[in-house]
Amino acid sequence: MFNNLFSKIMGSYIIIPILILLLLLLILPNYLKDYFYQAKERELLGKGQAVAKIISENDYSDSNISLSNLEKLLDTSLIIINQEREIINQGMRLQGMMRSSWMRKMHHNQGRGMMNRHGMMKHNRTNPPQVMMNFSDELNKVLAGDATSFRGETPMLNQAIIGVGIPIRTSEEMALFLISPLRGLEETVVKVRNLTIRVSFIAILIALILGYFISKGITRPVKEMKDKARLMAAGNFKAKIDKLPNDEIGELGKSFNYLSTKLESNINELTTEKRRMEEMLSSMAEGVLGVSKDQRILLANPRLKEILEIDKEIIGAKFNACFNDTLLNLVEEVMLEEKELKEEFNFGDKIIVAHAAPITKTDDELWGIIILVRDVTEIRKLDEMRRLFVANVSHELKTPLTAIRGYLEAILDGVVEDIDLQSEYLNRVLSETTRMTRLVQDTLDLSRLQSGQMDFKASEFDLIVLINSVIINLEGRLEDRDVSIEASESLIVKSDRDRIEEVLINLLSNAIKFTTSDGKIELKVKKIEAKVKVKVIDDGIGIPTSELPYIWERFHQVDRARTPDQKGTGLGLAIVKEIVEGLGGKVEVESEAGKGSEFSFTIESK
């Protein structure tokens, strides 16, 4: 019944007044009845004392008529009884109130009445009938000199009466009784009770109406708060409570609106921070993996899935169901020792480094583990290429330096005295010096290209003429290789002639290096709209597919085991890529092991 605030408030407005009014209905009539009775007794006592004084000063003992005049004046019935318990006088008022049936029964006696042994009034034969009632105890008290009062029922009057007894002190002790019916008092009590009931119903109705509107006024903002709270729970923090009262409920509503505003602000900040964190995690080069204490996955950014080749959702999954034993052992060891650990392991063709660190709560209790996963395959390959580069450069420099030293020592020591032989030795020294100079120059050029310090000088030239010139310059290395050109007779382009020449030399040198002496090399030049595409195709040993992503990197060389007799620093293709891209072009390669290679570059024609 009272399962909501409205009914509770409404009930408090209705039930309490009803209880109060019910108590009034139960208590007030009895209280009023007693009050009226006591007031009537006090009134009768006052009148009785006045009548007793008058009687003591005058003789009313034998005159009913005189006593009746006092009855009219005092509006009450009077009876005088002597010591012999005889009614010596009584007014006419009481006799007129008796019923006729009792009047007939009382007519068989005449003269002065007297009380029988039971204290019942008896009438004489000569006087009018007198009232009969049992008040012997009260009569005894009055005749003994004490005033008294009484209430009761009398069959003569067929109604309740109230009376008082007053002693009359004359030469003879007598008792004066004043008797009044209670019908008027009871009617008054009934009227008051009925009035109370009507007023109670009106009061309840008014309380009901006031309670309804007051309860509505109190519960409306509370209900609105409940509705707005549900909207807030659904994520809508813009809803506000309007038309608030100027009371505690209104203050609560204002606090609710402030709470909504602050929550919206805080949620937006948290959302922004979360989005920023997700963007940071998504853009990280490292994979990030969060693991709870019970080894459930809490966090995994896209890079982690890419590195470890995961194509399904793993958030919430058990760690051992998604990762290999190496990572599992790392996690268990970190949880056991609660310290940072690092592990490097192979994952297919990749080299992975995992750095795991424990995450603790404020009380130093282990909460979980955060793992950074890095793919260091390229770094390791770069380290290997650098090592090879140093070894190659050292070899490339050591060999000519050793030769130069040998030639010069032979000349200086006089071992070679023949002028022609000395001249040949000096030419070899010059050749080795040129070779070393080219090696150093290539290294410097690549550094300038990658740092953006290389200046390109554009000029118009005939690309076909330049290609033929390069082929002629490389004739000494071509041996029996078949070189063909598929192009128009002339193709004018505007670019850096020296750098394009360097690109052609490097690509043709590569083709010669990895092609057998009787192999075939083909150059194709084609103009495509505002661009020119040059292809260098050979039928040499080709390049493994796994090596293709790395051939444009500096220091990189194809597996030496496949080309043990080929020398180089691994800078040629890196220089080609930097030059072509610096000129706004693009380099491409297509190759397959054992089936030759096709290198191409595209530049602006003008």
- 431-467 pLDDT, tens digit per residue, is 888 878 877 877 777 777 767 777 788 899 999 999 9
In angstroms, the Cα distances linking 165 to 41, 47, 70, 72, 228 are 10, 11, 16, 19, 78
Q: Which one-letter amino acid corresponds to residue 2?
A: F
Render the burial of 532-559: b for 16+ CB within 10 Å, e for the rest. bbbbbbbbbbbbeeebeebbbebbbbbe
Q: Which residue has the tokens 């052992």?
A: 329
Judge contact between 77 and 50, C-beta under 8 A.
no
Which region among 109-113, 199-203, 423-427 has the lowest average model confidence (pLDDT)? 109-113
The two three-digit tokens of residue 316, written as one number: 């919430």
d(CA 128, CA 112): 10
Per-residue pLDDT tens for 211-264?
Answer: 788 777 777 777 777 777 787 777 777 777 777 777 777 787 788 788 888 888
Q: 457-604, which class in CATH?
A: alpha beta
d(CA 99, CA 79): 18
Q: Looking at domain 279-375, which of 3.30.70.20, 1.10.275.10, 3.30.450.20, 3.40.50.300 is its CATH number?
A: 3.30.450.20
Between 206 and 14, name the one with better pLDDT.
Answer: 206
- C-alpha to C-alpha distance for 75 and 70, rounded to whole angstroms: 8
Asked whether the predicted pLDDT for residue 287 surpasses 70, the reply is: yes
Task: Judge contact between 391 and 378, C-beta under 8 A.
Answer: no
Number of helices (H) and strands (E) in the chain: give both, helices first. Answer: 15, 18
Q: In this predicted structure, what is the pLDDT of residue 587?
A: 93
CATH code of the domain occupying 1-59+66-98+134-210: 3.30.450
C-alpha distances (whole Å) from 492 to each of 468, 488, 531 are 14, 11, 11
Using DSSP, state whether 173 is helix, strand or coil: strand
- Which residue, 543, 504, 540, is CA-closest to 520? 540
541-588 tens-digit pLDDT: 988 888 888 888 766 666 554 454 555 567 788 889 989 998 889 999
Please tell me the distance from the alpha carbon of residue 448 to that of residue 574, in angstroms, as a whole number.
Answer: 12
* Whether pLDDT at 108 is above 50: no
Which class for 388: exposed (0-12), middle (13-18), buried (19 or more C-beta within 10 A)? middle
Q: Are 570 and 388 in contact (CB under 8 A)?
A: yes
Percent of the chain with pLDDT over 70: 85
**pTM tops 0.85, yes or no:** no
Fold type of domain 381-450: Helix Hairpins (1.10.287)
Backbone φ and ψ of 526, nearest 5°: -145, 135
pLDDT digits (tens, 9 = 90+) for 25-72: 788 777 877 888 888 888 888 888 888 888 777 755 555 556 777 777
